[in-house]
Amino acid sequence: MPLPQDELTALAARLDDAALTATAVPQPTWPPGADTDDAYAVQSALMNRQLARGERTVGLKMGLTSRAKMVQVGVSEVIWGRLTDRMRVPDGGAVDVSTLIHPRVEPEVAFLIGRDVLPGDDFASAVAAVAPALEVIDSRYADFRFSLPDVIADNTSAAGFAIGPWQPPPTALANLGVLLEIDGRVVQTGSTAAILGDPRRAFEEAVRLAGRQGVRLREGWVLLAGAATAAVPLAPGAQVRAVVEGLGTASLSAKGDDRA
């Protein structure tokens, strides 16, 4: 039985307020029978609140695409969320961490969608460009603890992203070295192979999973393919850089007071 509309909108409002006030909330209690469709319905209601405030959808993100991330958060399924223009940080720009609860940052690969995507469209025909990227995540739940439906409802912890220089998709994407640096020190190393074996699979999963909820990738949107390493805490003053072999770098800094 689908989640009753009043419970769905109440949970969306609670998560929205948590983000707006940078105050963590307890994990929800889902009624018996609630499933990921219910959780995506809450995510959609949460997004509608953000769009009603004037934000614009600029893309989608894939989450938990690597074993490292699944193990880090104790969840074992690929998930997706929505990106708005408010989350975009210019490459080299600053994120105000005082507006976030317990932010973390992770190195990613981003795709630029070249045309409206139909079911069955493949990576080569739909993706116009590829770039190194950083994602800032910030669970709205206390202690960064959640179940699968919890994190889907919370828009997969999406909070910010920075994208490095775009370039035409290279022929090989499946095993590029990835570094995450903080203040010039390497804090995580990985490979794009950690992203579903090949980040291009993240495109296929986005088409399949978002399509199940009636959402299609649009021309000009960004798709964050997922992280190649575990995420690390983002503290004020940090200078962060993702380096992806052959693709270059994306960077951001953290400003503001520490809320963690």
Residues of this chain that bind ligand 0L1 (CB under 6 A): 61, 63-64, 69, 73, 135, 137, 139, 151, 156-157, 226-227, 231
Q: Dihedrals φ, ψ of 9, to 5°?
A: -70, -30
33: exposed, middle or buried (Cβ count in 10 Å: 0-12, 13-18, 19+): exposed
CA distance linking residue 114 with residue 221, whole number of Å: 8
For residue 151, the partner it binds in Mg ion, ligand 0L1, none, with Cβ less than 5 to 8 A by kind, is ligand 0L1
Query: Which of residues 131 and 137 has its CB atom nearest to ligand 0L1 in the complex?
Result: 137
Closer to ligand 0L1 at the Cβ: 60 or 227? 227
50 vs 156, beta carbon nearer ligand 0L1? 156
Q: Is 250 in the site for Mg ion (CB under 5 A)?
A: no
Residue 135 binds to Mg ion (criterion: CB under 5 A): yes
Judged by CB, which is closer to ligand 0L1: 122, or 143? Answer: 143
195 contacts Mg ion (rule: CB under 5 A): no
The token duo for 134 is 């950083």
The entry of Mg ion, ligand 0L1, none near residue 200 (CB within 5 to 8 angstroms by kind) is: none
Q: Where are the alpha helices (DSSP H) in 22-153?
A: 36-52, 67-73, 123-126, 148-153
Nearer to ligand 0L1, 121 or 196 (CB): 196
Those residues with Cβ within 8 angstroms of residue 138's Cβ, 6 or more apart along the chain or in another chain:
19, 100, 101, 102, 103, 104, 157, 159
Beta-carbon contacts of 206 under 8 Å, excluding residues fewer than 6 positions away, are 60, 62, 80, 217, 223
Choose between 160 and 226: whose C-beta lies nearer to ligand 0L1.
Answer: 226
241 binds, among ligand 0L1, Mg ion, none (CB under 5 to 8 A by kind): none
Closest approach of ligand 0L1 to the CB of residue 118, in Å: 26
Residue 64, binding choice from Mg ion, ligand 0L1, none, Cβ under 5 to 8 Å by partner class: ligand 0L1
Residues 23-52 that bind Mg ion (CB under 5 A): none
* Separation CA 148–CA 184 (nearest Å): 34
Radius of gyration, alpha carbons of the chain: 17
Q: Token pair of 54, please?
A: 């004037």
- CA 155/CA 221 separation, integer angstroms: 17
With binding defined as CB under 5 A, does residue 176 bind Mg ion? no
Which of ligand 0L1, Mg ion, none does residue 201 bind to, with CB < 5 to 8 Å depending on kind?
none
Q: Which string of x and - marks every residue 217-236 that binds Mg ion (by CB under 5 A)? A: ----------x---------
**In this structure, what is the dihedral angle of CA atoms 231, 237, 239, 240, given to the nearest 10 degrees?**
10
